[in-house]
Chain A
Amino acid sequence: MTVLYLKRAIQDILQNRFLNFVTIITISLSILIVSSAILFFINAGQIIALWQKGIRIMAYLKPEMAATALPGLTQDIQALDGVDSVRFISRDEALAELKAQMKRQSFLFENLAENPLPDGFEIRMDPSAQTWKNIEAVAARVEAFEPIAEVEYGQRWLGRFSRIFDLFRLAGYAMGGLFFIATVFIVANTIRLIIYSRREELEITRLVGATDRFIKIPFYIEGLIQGALGAICGLAILFFLFVLLSSNVEEGFFSDLFQIRFLSPGVMLPIVLGSALVGWLGCHLSLKQFLKV
């Protein structure tokens, strides 16, 4: 029976080529837009995560702090949630590192009468707890310790960017939801047109003793096929555009730091299944209305 239903669904698609083609193209465009957004969010998210990985918290000590308090303070910081490692950097060590980093501008240090840098701690976060929220929380708690003069975790802009990015992500979800609903209605309308164009045939099928199930199942299969084909076409177009654009991006722009990647099979499969569900839902809406009559 399943073979019969599948055969009838394929026959129906071939008999209504134009309407089915329009539906598949419409689904493809929706999938193209939604999957482009997903591609952007995945890659941008990975770039942000990479940047966040490089973040370390620098805590500078007050000049008058006694050296005896150092081991206790190190332990206190190490005990904070999410802290992976704490390294004390003396002011002399810091100056030596700075000089090493600024070899070409070494003349700047020639006239220094005294080392202007403070003692400090370099705090690295546990990678699993390295969310922006945790970094901020640890920084605030370190700053609260008496001997600490100032805390800096560089790239504060990254926090702001991260929040804006989260907002974009939310907007992306809303957009995805809207496209989902719009596509369901578009599929519902095209299936309705197909049903309308075949109403006499369906009426005859009913009169010869066909059950609702017998009439409905091929349409559901048709909806699933439309949805899945639409998704495959949409993803194929996106892949083509991705290859075209990524080959034009200046080499080395990201290559040292990050490799832009296309959607993984683990992301594409849910897109195809979701799109098939859209086809099924659209079909369900139309049939529900048709079979009421």
Chain B
Amino acid sequence: MSSRSKFWSILFLFYALCLAIVAGVVWVVMREMPSVANETYYWLQKVFVFSLFALFCFTILLLQIWSWLDRVLIKPLSHLDRSMAIMANADPNHQLAIRPDHLLGDLPAAARQLASALFYTRRQVKEALTHGMDGLERLERVIKHLHVGLVVINGEAGILLYNAAAQNLLRHRAEFLGLGRSFYELCARMPVETTMTLLSHCNNQQECSVNNGVRFFCAVVQDDRMLDCRMSLLPVEGGKGKMQFLITLEEASQSMAALRQGDLLIHHGLENMRGPVANLRAAVEMLLLHPEMEGEMSRQFIQVIHDEGEQLSQRLDWIAGEADALAANHWLQTDVLSTDLLAGLQRRLERHQDIRLQSIGDALWIRADAPALLLALEKLLIELAGYTDDGLIEVETLMGDRRVYIDFIWRGKMVPATEVESWRSMTVADGGLRLSLQEILERHGCELWSRSHRRAGHAMLRVPVTPSQRQWQMPQDEMPERPEFYDFSLMDSFAGLGRMVAKSLSTLNYIVFDTETTGLHPSKGDEIISIAGVRIVNGRALSGEKFERLINPGRPIPPESTRIHGLTDADVADKQSIEEVLPQFKEFVGDSVLVAHNAAFDMKFLQIKESVCGIHFDNPVLDTLLLSVYLHEEVTDHTLDAIAERLGVVIHDRHTAMGDTEVTAEVFLKLLELLKAKGISTLGLAMQASQSMVQIRRQQANANY
């Protein structure tokens, strides 16, 4: 009941009471009537009639005054009440629409001043915050651009933070990577859980061997890739039960394969050599120790020596091949673009004024330990400078059959092989790094030689290096920029799943969604043709975690529905069916609370498809329409547009699933604030409040028809 109705009800009761008292007095008087004298009776009758008339006039007057008071005092008061709530919680620029002849005196003006003061204070706070957040932002940038994948999870493996590198590593499971989602949907549960247990145990022990983090390998769910992970316990205030774990992730498939290959090589390589060597020795010893051996016998032993020698050669070749392959995957080597390498070389050569480097040729991917290779090339160029006529060295990168050639070309004589060979023993040093050229070249499977160049008077030094596999790979799709990767405040509030109703509204995860359909009657064959959702975590709509699909409804779209959402049969002809899309949507939703405007409508469309899709939406549901009714009972217009306008939400792309979803999400966030101000703090209370509104809404609907 609104305060206005309450006020008038009390006043009316008071009036009724007065009336009853008067009626009572009259009744008593009338009963006593026969006992009084005629004259008095006549006089009393007159008084009675006059009183009735006076009462009638008084009532009329009273009603007039009341209606006037209602207009100029009570209604404006109630409007002010509502407006102030909106100004305080949702839209500080909300305009007061109070009639000018109100009796509130300076109250509306004061309210306006208060609102504007609030607005400025908030802005200042925001500015101060922005200022203060500068440092944090820088930290965010660091995390975002960190090359190592980073994930922070809580004790229940709920994701609290992730960075772009983690997103890239887990790109095949992108739909499962989201704030509040379970890390187990991304990585095999066992190693993660075991490590967490180990670390929590360690936390209790104060001192233990795993303080610096525990390394473990972990398979990506439904993927054949392995991740090299290191988990450590984050110090969190609040102690027990609020543990958080920092996990760094790196792709391990390649290095694991190399490790395995290396093990295999040493193990099998040695094993395979022992046999032939043993046989060889035995046969030779037999021949040496027994020169008297018969011709046939000795011929057999010689055959053995021949065969085993051949075996040994083959196995050696195999080991050599494997070792080369391993060397190419050396852990120190990464993919480098030749142009980047040469640019680095150019920078290093700036110190040497007698050498000018000019780069020609394509940008090619090579596999190299870039710092070491740079040092080696720099050293080589310094030596080369003596052979040039003019100090100018051109460098050309060429793609050969199996190798990338880095050719240094200059006008002048070629370098004699003796000289080139002697360069190999030179050492280069940079800080703590001290290596011989020989070592660097060998590590890169690299050689070098000088020849005369096809251009007359020119010579060249060729350095063949190993190309990177990336040369032949399709460029990877750039991951879309996601603005939100983390929510540090989640760290304090995130709790496990279950018993959701008791949870604070501000800590829950929501999926706000909307559907567009072929019509209004799912039970009569109307179908969903578009569904969109956006995730809300910790009071923020995450623009990076969105779901949007067009759906082929398997039936024609009626023109009258096309008029609303603009979607035609052609738009959805090549789209997936609801049977394919709805399970994806369910994955996206997870355990979150579902939010929609007029949710009953959308839920009906979802639920009717549950059995055919083999899923079940048992999530709690909140309805922005019902919440709005609860908050602004007096107002009858609760369309999305009306609420948005009331709460100062800008409307865009209305009647597209995503457009409506975004508006609904913003509206929902504002409603959450208003609910909080009204003391509705948990999911249970909000659902209860909505439920009570269903009844009122029905009444309103009935009144309209």
Do the two chains belong together in a single complex?
no
